[in-house]
Structure formats: structure tokens, C-alpha cells
Amino acid sequence: MNYEERKALGFSVIDAHHSEAVALSDALADEPELSGQEYKSSARLAAYLRDQGFSVEQPFAGYETAFLAKKGPDVHRRKIALLTEYDALEIGHACGHCVSAAISVLAGLAISELAEELNVDVHIVGTPEEETYGAKCNMIAAGAFDGYDMAMMVHLYNRNLTFTKLLAKDSYRYCFYGKSAHAAASPWEGDNALNGLQLMFHAVDMLRQHLRPDVRIHGVICEGGMAPNIVPEKASAEFYIRALSRDYLNEVVAKVDDCARGAAIATQTRMEREVTGGAYDNLKNNAIGLAALEEGFAELGLPLDREFDEIFASTDAGNVSMLCPTFHPTIAIAEPPVALHSKEFEALVKTPRAHEAIAQGAKLLTLQAIKLLGDEERFAAMKADFERGR
């Protein structure tokens, strides 16, 4: 087959199964499940893929809510992963993961029909807990993403983008331990853990002016004491610390740790730090693959926002991008200023525009596979670009 014939076959599969993918997305939206609790969501996706002739391994890579779906034996020269996210927030699918999951599944159906043509094994990988711990981090450690030539997914947004600035992120809880005492009768007998935590917040705020503009530090108090008349013997806060590169993030974390240690010394308390989430890497760029994505957007008649240079946030897909070329474009189902993680965005995931985005996103990923896997020179250039960035 030539390019147009491959494209026509892939698009015909997408068109034939689009209504089923819409139903999948809407069902996920109707029963949103938080990170780590995606039992119905992962089971629903896995059941659909089995019905479509895929073999499904679940549990997978140590997660009951993760899965690996593939069609036929792994006998081809190349191997790609379609990343599938399906966890929700407390306000529902305000990140659009229900739509994104449907896109990956639908694209998987289409590209698997081209497996012989493109000489590729197509894996649909169910990856839970993106919003919290980041299951991809542990899945990578378990070897679940070894040997892939390419990985991709589509995120939903208020703009069409080939590439998003995704920050590396670390998550920690800082716990301060003091000594309780009666706050009125004998406060001198106590060491105030809350004071230590407050001082850490002030130190971090003072640190900000000396950090690069891409750095984001945000924390919330988890424990602050039991009652006003008891000197708090324990106080804790969870912080997310982010930066555009893993190397610089490591430097920033060391500075934040110093803020915590200094606050503990100043208040005569003791501080401990514990990890509360996966260590997310930044998303690694790949110029060859992004050029192919840009062509795909143009073929689908989706205008790109070329002036956009804002920070998107963080995702464990960045960790996958350190192993193989990974693509994370966005398709708009909203207009600015409607933002991700808002009630306004959540209200849009079952609209006709979101349903159309399921077909658009699946076609975009199918075009990406055809363009990169169906052209040996382009594929080699993509791999060389990835290796140069190591």
C-alpha cells in the first residue's frame, strides 16, 4: 500500500468504531474513578479490547488497574505503545482522561489493522494514577516500557498543540515533630511543630525570587495541631516541586530541603521528609516526530496554536519519553480561558466537540504511525534525534 491507501484503511477503521469509542468515553465520564481506584474504568476498557480481538493482560506491571492489550503475536520489527490514561479528579474527568483513553483505544484499533503494512506490534497500555503517584514511573521500573520504538497519546486542552512544556515534578511530605505542652499554662515546655512548618513556608517563599521562572513550588498543610491550647507536637505539609529539567529540579529540591532543615533548627523541632508521588521527568522533545505531527494536524484541518509557549504542568509520560520517542499532542475541546482541572472543562467532555475530538485524535495518532513507521529514512531520523538528546 502507498501512504494514501494506508491512511484510508486506518481512517475507515476509526469511522467504523467511532460511536463505540464515544460510548466508552461517556461511560468513563459517568462513573469517574480517582487515581488508584480505576477498577471499573480499566475493566471496561479491557473488556472492549477483548471483544475486538485483543489479548489483554490484567493486572499488569504490579497494578491491578493497569493492563497491556495487543493483537496477535509480537513478531514484527517495530513495537509502539499507545498510552491510555483513565483516572479522574474529585470533580470528575476535568482533565479529559475519558476522552483521551477513547482516543488511544480507537487509534490502537486502526494501527493494529496496519500492523503487517508497517511491520509493527501495537500495544495499548493502560496506565493508572497519572493524577497522583504516576504509575508509569513504577511500571518503567518493572520493565513494562522496555523495547518500544515509540509511544504516544493525545491530551485534551483548550488549544491544538504538537508539543507541551511538561515540567519535571517531585512530590514530598515534610513532617515537623516537636513537643506538646499547655499553650497557656506552660508554653515554654513545648516545641511548636507548626511554627517550624510555617517558617518553612516563609523560607520557600523567600527562595522563589532566586529561582528560574519555570520553577513551580506549591504546598498545602496536611496537619497543623489538635487544639489552640495545645502546642502542636506534629505538623506536616505536602509540596509539589517542578522545573523544566530534571537536573535543575534536583537542585531546587535540595534548596527546599535546606529551607525545611533550617526551619526545624530555628524552632528546635525535628523534620523528616517522605516521598508522596512518582518522580516525573520533563517531556523530551523530538523534532522529527513533531514535524510529522504538524503535518497530521494540517491534514485533519486542525489549526495549530503556534504562538503558545506556556507551561502545561507535569505528567509521568515524561518518564516514558526518556526511554523512547514519545508524543503528547493536545486537541482543543474548549476555548480559553476554560482551563484544565476546572468544573467548566469537566462539563465539556461529553459534548459533540469532545466526541469529534475522539475521531480527530485517533486519526492524528494513526497518521503519526504511518508517517514515521512507514518511512525508513524518517524513522531512522526520529531515532537519531532521540539518541542525540540522551
Give the per-residue SS3 of 334-368. CCCCCCCCCHHHHCCCCCHHHHHHHHHHHHHHHHH
- The pLDDT, as a whole number, for residue 308 is 79
- The pLDDT, as a whole number, for residue 312 is 85
- The pLDDT, as a whole number, for residue 172 is 98
Checking if the pLDDT of 375 tops 80, the result is yes
Shared domain check, 179 and 128: no
Per-residue pLDDT tens digits for 8-41: 999 999 999 999 999 999 999 999 999 999 999 9
Q: How far is it, in rounded angstroms, from Cα 319 to Cα 300?
A: 29
As a whole number, mean pLDDT of residues 357-383 equals: 98
CATH number at 207 reads 3.30.70.360
The range of the structural domain enclosing residue 375 comes to: 3-166+281-388
Shared domain check, 157 and 54: yes
Q: In whole angstroms, how far apart are CA 154 and each of 132, 173, 317, 357, 368? A: 19, 31, 11, 10, 12
CATH number at 149 reads 3.40.630.10
Shared domain check, 369 and 258: no
Shared domain check, 179 and 153: no
Shared domain check, 224 and 304: no
What are the percentages of helix, strand and coil residues in the chain, rounded to 5? 45, 20, 35
Q: Between β-strands 234-243 and 216-223, what pairing exists: parallel, antiparallel or unpaired?
A: antiparallel
Instruction: Kindly tell me the number of DSSP H helices and DSSP E strands found in the chain.
Output: 12, 14
Q: How confident is the model at residue 328 (pLDDT cuts 50, 70, 90)?
A: very high
Tell which of 244, 275, 306 closes a domain. Answer: 275
Shared domain check, 240 and 199: yes
- The pLDDT, as a whole number, for residue 390 is 62
- The pLDDT, as a whole number, for residue 311 is 84
**Count of domains forming the chain:** 2
Q: Which segments of 158-284 does DSSP mark as H helices, in order?
A: 193-207, 246-266
- The pLDDT, as a whole number, for residue 313 is 87
Shared domain check, 346 and 288: yes
Q: Are 87 and 315 in contact (CB under 8 A)?
A: no
Q: How confident is the model at residue 270 (pLDDT cuts 50, 70, 90)?
A: very high
Checking if the pLDDT of 149 tops 90, the result is yes
As a whole number, mean pLDDT of residues 222-244 equals: 97
Shared domain check, 242 and 287: no
Checking if the pLDDT of 256 tops 90, the result is yes
